[in-house]
Amino acid sequence: MTWTVAPEPFDSPDASLLRRDYYAEVAGRYWGRPATTGEIDSGLTDDGAGLLAAPAGDFVIGRSEGRAAACAGLLLVDAGTAELTRVYVRPEFRGTGGGGLLLAALEERARALGVTLLRLDTRHDLVEARGLYAKHGYREVPAFNRGPYAEHWFAKELGVTGAEPSGQSLSPRASSAS
């Protein structure tokens, strides 16, 4: 499979569908049943995705053979720290390398912004996500927030390149849960 990863507005048609799929999966796993359309709509209302755009953050889409297959967001916390959020690979594309490419793309963008620490939280039942983070050098760390769904916390130290991605300058914002 050929993958490409590129920045895209969090509210583009493909990004919106991926965010719906992400929420449907994480909510369905949490509740132990499929999430309804109304529950998904409610969960996406005021979910903070607006912060995943300059100057507070970034959002990327992974495409496999041209099909929107994955997404991930970056949220600046302070001058040296950013959080990964909404990292999602559609089930039929898992295990094909897309998740690692999403992480690499956001790590590169974060480094260019002077970020030296990337962190995230996740739930216990999101086993595939935890495996992806560990495989790509994220280590479990003590809790850094008290999000209602945060059960595991990961972080990765980054080197810095100093160039800004795509000519965009992002500025820090307060952190929110993944």
Residue 160 has a pLDDT of: 54
pTM, whole model, 2 decimals? Answer: 0.86
Where the chain has pLDDT below 70, the residues are 160-178
Tell me what pLDDT residue 161 has: 52
The rounded distance, in Å, linking the Cα atoms of 34 and 46 is 21
Tell me, what's the pLDDT at 18? 98
Contacts of 1 (CB under 8 A, 6+ apart): 64, 65, 93, 96, 97, 98
Read off the pLDDT of residues 39-88 as tens digits, 9 standing for 90 and up. Answer: 999 999 989 999 999 889 999 999 999 999 999 999 999 999 999 999 99
CA atoms within 13 A on the CB side of 84: 32
CA distance 54 to 45: 20
Q: What is the structure's pLDDT at 147?
A: 86
Residue 93 near residue 70, CB atoms below 8 Å: yes
Please say whether the dihedral angle defined by the alpha carbons of residues 100, 140, 107 and 176, taken in this order, is positive or negative. positive
Structure tokens of 106? 């956001």
